[in-house]
Amino acid sequence: MPELPEVESARTVVAQYALDRVITDVDDTDTWVCRPHAPGSIRAALLGSRLITANRRGKSMWCETAAGPTLGIHLGMSGKLVFIDESGDEHDGGDYWQRGRAPGDHRFTRFALKFADGTELMLVDPRRLGRVRLDPPVEKLGPDALTVTLKAFRAAFAKGTAPVKARLLDQEAVAGVGNLLADQALWLAKLDPARPVLDLSPADVARLHRAVRAAVAAAVEGGGVHTLSVIPARHEGGTCPRCRTLMHHATVGGRTTWWCPREQR
Ligand SMILES: [Zn+2]
């Protein structure tokens, strides 16, 4: 499932390849992925226009267009963006697929833009839980987890009885932390996922802030959340990569959570 790093890799594909090309065709016929727009309405809004920026906050991505409306692209559970360049080479970014994607495999294309120079940008999404829409709401999202300041982070963790893991997953508190990033950050910060937010000391919050940014940066650098160091220990019999204690697991914040019971307090 894409978390912030996977969405960032999709955003990079758009930023590197798809900007400033004139849009000559739009496939917006998938009424589920393009809801609530009727087929043809995204097409009508974008024909002759260009994508001019590629933005991301948390797991949400949107492009400003020369014509006015922004184009929102959400990768859902399994989405990748694929750009086909002038020589037919493909550049993709987005969700990590264990078996990869063969070039030319466009079976799961849910939305596509064709450009005047013959290049193309498509959303390929086997599970069809991605979404494309005009002017998506992004104002409710919290600060982006890759760049959130300590001050803004403290404000998001200032009060409440929610478990710290649940607060990390709350996209209006901090945007972009999914289940695996949350487990990695809590493990780095040596915090028990079930600790209530109001129980955290200022030093705990500062450590967690550093851990979130470090976890996100490592995953962006490494190519996705599957590369994070605690992920291989998230299974029955898995041991903490630092102290070799048997990892515990339970449902915290509605999600399966793994932690080191010796170090995470
Ligand atoms: Zn440990």
pLDDT score at 168: 98
pLDDT score at 188: 98
Please indicate, yes or no, if residue 264 is contained in any of the structural domains.
no
Please indicate, yes or no, if residue 231 is contained in any of the structural domains.
yes
129 with 156, same domain: the answer is: no
Helices within 149-201 (DSSP H only) = 150-156, 164-169, 179-189
234 with 177, same domain: the answer is: yes
Whether this model's pTM surpasses 0.85: yes
Distance of CA 237 to the CA centre of its chain: 29
CATH number of the domain residue 254 falls in: 1.10.8.50
Q: 161-171 pLDDT, tens per residue? A: 999 999 999 99
CATH number of the domain residue 104 falls in: 3.20.190.10
3 state DSSP class of 161: coil
The kind and range of the H/E element at 44 are helix 41-46
Terminal-residue alpha carbon distance, the chain = 28
Choosing from 100, 134, 168, the residue where a domain stops is: 134
Count up the domains in the chain and report the number: 2
182 with 255, same domain: the answer is: yes
Beta pairing, strands 60-63 & 55-57? antiparallel
pLDDT score at 61: 96
- Per-residue pLDDT tens, the chain, 265 aa: give them: 889 999 999 999 999 999 999 999 999 999 999 999 999 999 999 999 999 999 999 999 999 999 889 999 999 999 999 999 999 999 999 999 988 899 999 999 999 999 999 999 999 999 999 999 999 988 899 999 999 999 999 999 999 999 999 999 999 999 999 999 999 999 999 999 999 999 999 999 999 999 999 999 999 999 899 999 999 999 999 999 999 999 999 999 999 999 999 999 9
Please indicate, yes or no, if residue 70 is contained in any of the structural domains.
yes
75 with 156, same domain: the answer is: no
81 with 165, same domain: the answer is: no
Query: Cα of 240 to ligand 1 centre, how many Å?
Result: 5
pLDDT score at 138: 86
Query: Cα of 106 to ligand 1 centre, how many Å?
Result: 43
Query: Cα of 83 to ligand 1 centre, how many Å?
Result: 42
Count CB atoms within 10 A of the CB of residue 127. 12
Please indicate, yes or no, if residue 143 is contained in any of the structural domains.
no
- Are the CB atoms for 228 and 214 separated by under 8 Å? no
pLDDT score at 35: 96
Query: Cα of 205 to ligand 1 centre, how many Å?
Result: 19
Query: Cα of 64 to ligand 1 centre, how many Å?
Result: 45
161 with 116, same domain: the answer is: no
pLDDT score at 1: 82
Please indicate, yes or no, if residue 141 is contained in any of the structural domains.
no
Which residues span the domain enclosing 80?
Answer: 4-134
Please indicate, yes or no, if residue 140 is contained in any of the structural domains.
no
119 with 178, same domain: the answer is: no
Which amino acid type is present at position 76? G
pLDDT score at 2: 87
